[in-house]
Amino acid sequence: MQEIPIPGDPTWGGGLPQETGAENAGGARKNNDCTLSETFSSIFNKCDMNYINLFSMSESTQSPAGAPSPAAGAGGNEQPMIRMKNVQKYFDDFQALTDINLEVPRGQVVVVLGPSGSGKSTLCRTINRLETIEDGTIEIDGKLLPEEGKELAKLRADVGMVFQSFNLFPHLKIRDNVTLGPIKVRNKKKKEAVDRAMQLLERVGIANQADKYPAQLSGGQQQRVAIARALAMDPKVMLFDEPTSALDPEMVNEVLEVMANLAKSGMTMLVVSHEMGFARKVADRVLFMADGQIVEDAPPEEFFSNPKSDRAKDFLGKILAH
């Protein structure tokens, strides 16, 4: 089966919005100029698991979003949903991640804070291998993240991701953006996929926009569609890479409200963000990163009231002073 690029992958250049890669050495990723017709013709003629899996296409044996897996152990012995051990990441000679060791239990909400260039987005993107690593291991629900191929595609199915930009298909209506993955990859019947899409759009508060195109929606509405699309395949964990950073201030709260409700449902979440209020109210843990390392890992009350490191104190002093 021929592999094709996916939005958010460093090789993707299909004319759709993608990450700026601002935290990565070497500058922003470049888009290849390409007409929409060429892009979508390539996508839909050669669509395979590697492409759609970015949008969290899960196997039929998966539990619903936020629900415990049938394989979860009893007595507190279950595997963490995310485990990173001694992870190292380089961009040429620049070390972007150094000795990352992290475990995220099932159902926990972890917010990653830190200054620009600290490695937050890079950490997030390594979890589903949108960025490769030079050393160390990453596990999702006890399964080692493969380097490539079909096994990687299968494991990516457990991970939903929401980017800074929305990566919606501009030529598809909102409903079709959400149903595309289930129909193409999961072979769901159209009615089943549409019913599920409408439930999710209702959940994020934009069911009345289902027949519109992305360009007709505000940025906040488009980001909520992106969340609904990621949830359409019932992922085990959701990754958010600064989902509100590209939004106008008045649109931020509507997205954060959806994320807060998702956290209440029991979804395992890792959120890269500068939204301090969200971290205080919603997070179970706060990770503070600087220079590619996890400098602090604490409950939000402890981190915000009594940070241990000078770097965190300086960061909070600048952020909270405004």
- Which residues neighbour 99 within 8 Å (Cβ) at sequence distance 6 or greater? 86, 87, 88, 293
Does residue 24 lie within any of the structural domains?
Answer: no
Q: Is 68 within the bounds of a domain?
A: no
Q: Is the pLDDT of residue 57 over 70?
A: no
Expressed as residue numbers, the domain containing 119 is 82-320
Contacts of 287 (CB under 8 A, 6+ apart): 102, 110, 111, 112, 113, 294, 296, 297
Residue 37 inside a domain? The answer is no
pLDDT tens digits, residue range 182-204? 888 778 899 999 999 999 999 99
More confident: 166 or 98: 98
CATH number where 188 lies: 3.40.50.300
The confidence score (pLDDT) of residue 97 equals 98
Could you tell me if residue 54 is inside a domain? no
Tell me how many domains the chain contains.
1
What is the per-residue pLDDT across 249-291, written as a single tens digit (0 to 9) for each?
889 999 999 999 999 999 999 999 999 999 999 999 999 999 9
Confidence tier at 77 by pLDDT (50, 70, 90): low
Is 89 inside any structural domain? yes
Dihedral angle of Cα 232, 109, 297, 247, to the nearest 10 degrees = 70
Strands 285-290 and 109-113: parallel
Kindly report each contact of residues 246-251 with a partner whose C-beta sits within 8 Å and lies 24 or more positions away, as own/partner: 246/164, 246/165, 246/219, 247/219, 247/220, 247/223, 248/219, 248/220, 251/218, 251/219, 251/220, 251/223
Please report whether residue 58 resides in a domain.
no
The answer as to whether 216 is a domain residue is yes
- Locus of tokens 């007409």: 35
Question: Does residue 26 form part of some domain?
Answer: no
- For position 187, what pLDDT does the model report? 81
Examine the pLDDT at 15 and tell me if it is beyond 90.
no
